[in-house]
Amino acid sequence: MERIGTIARVRRYPVKSMAGEDLNETQVTRSGLFGDRAYAFIDERNLSDFPWMTGRQARDMILFRARFVTLPAVPAGNGASAAVDYALEVTTPEGQTFRMGEAEFTEFLATRFGRPLRLRFSEQSMTDVQPISIFGLHTAGALSAETGIQLDERRFRANFYAQWDAGRPFYEDELVGRALRFGDTVELRVIKKNQRCVMINLDPDTAVASPQVLETVARRHESCLGVYGQVLREGVVRVGDAIQAI
């Protein structure tokens, strides 16, 4: 095996399209980071094959911050825990706190966003394409130069942020089709590039949109930034762990 980088940052998104949280370590299962995208809201008027309520429809959704009050450290059985083991609190941008699953919170969001919403919970992460997303820190720096905006890497909503030993942006694109080991046990296969949408226009702290971000990615990078991965072997990953090509 060849060492190719280090895990610089690990992030989980307990609620689809809401703010992520930094983790020092995480259990990685076949369906992704344990607790990642465990909850989502469905827009009941949206009959398409993408019915989710996201920051595409309401930018300030990304400013809601979710925190697990109860989440088992190690999943049981097939890599998922029973729903009863989950307890989640969400804080609004204004500082009000709700417990996920309470009708009051769903009603609050429905009123705020002007849409009939239904909460969904799943033990399998409700990601769009693949269970893992990987993004290089040098890529964020290069795109900052291309757009003329200092871009926080959090706007790209990856699970693993990598510091590549190669020291060049877009290095993750070169890994498509390859198997990687993260830490001592977790193995992933890089499946494809991540085709981007308007979510990357949104500043993670303010939700202010900068349309030139997606425009630049579309014009210079075929609308793709970062890569998706499939889990081949489960285990625990920690910040600072080595990334190796198998």
Rounded Cα distance between 228 and 193, Å, is 6
Residue 20 pLDDT greater than 70, yes or no: yes
Beta partners for residue 236, in sequence order: 27
pLDDT tens string 168-181 = 999 999 999 999 99
List all residues 6 or more positions away from 153 whose beta carbon is below 8 Å from its beta carbon: 9, 135, 137, 140, 161
What CATH number should be reported for the domain holding residue 147?
Answer: 2.40.33.20
Q: Which residues contact 144 (CB under 8 A, 6 or more apart)?
A: 150, 151
At 200, phi and psi to the nearest 5? -70, -10
Instruction: For residue 102, count other CB atoms closer than 10 A to its CB.
Output: 12
Does 32 have pLDDT greater than 60?
A: yes
Q: Is the pLDDT of residue 82 over 60?
A: no
How would you classify the pairing of strands 117-121 and 39-43? antiparallel
Q: What is the mean pLDDT of residues 1-9?
A: 97
What pLDDT is stored for residue 219 in this prediction?
97
| Whether pLDDT at 127 is above 50 | yes
pTM of the model: 0.92
Check pLDDT > 70 for residue 79: no
Give how far Cα 226 sits from Cα of 83, 98, 104, 138, Å.
Answer: 31, 33, 37, 11
Amino acid symbol at 26: T
The residue segments making up the domain with residue 129 are 2-245
pLDDT for 123: 83
Q: Hunting for tokens 């202010």 — which residue is that?
A: 208
- pLDDT tens for each residue of 188-245: 999 999 999 999 999 999 999 999 999 999 999 999 999 999 999 999 999 999 999 9
Number of independent structural domains in the chain: 1
Q: What's the alpha-carbon Rg for the chain, to the nearest Å? A: 18
Q: What percentage of residues in the chain have a pLDDT greater than 90?
A: 88
Please report the pLDDT score of residue 73 as a whole number. Answer: 55
State residue 74's pLDDT score: 52
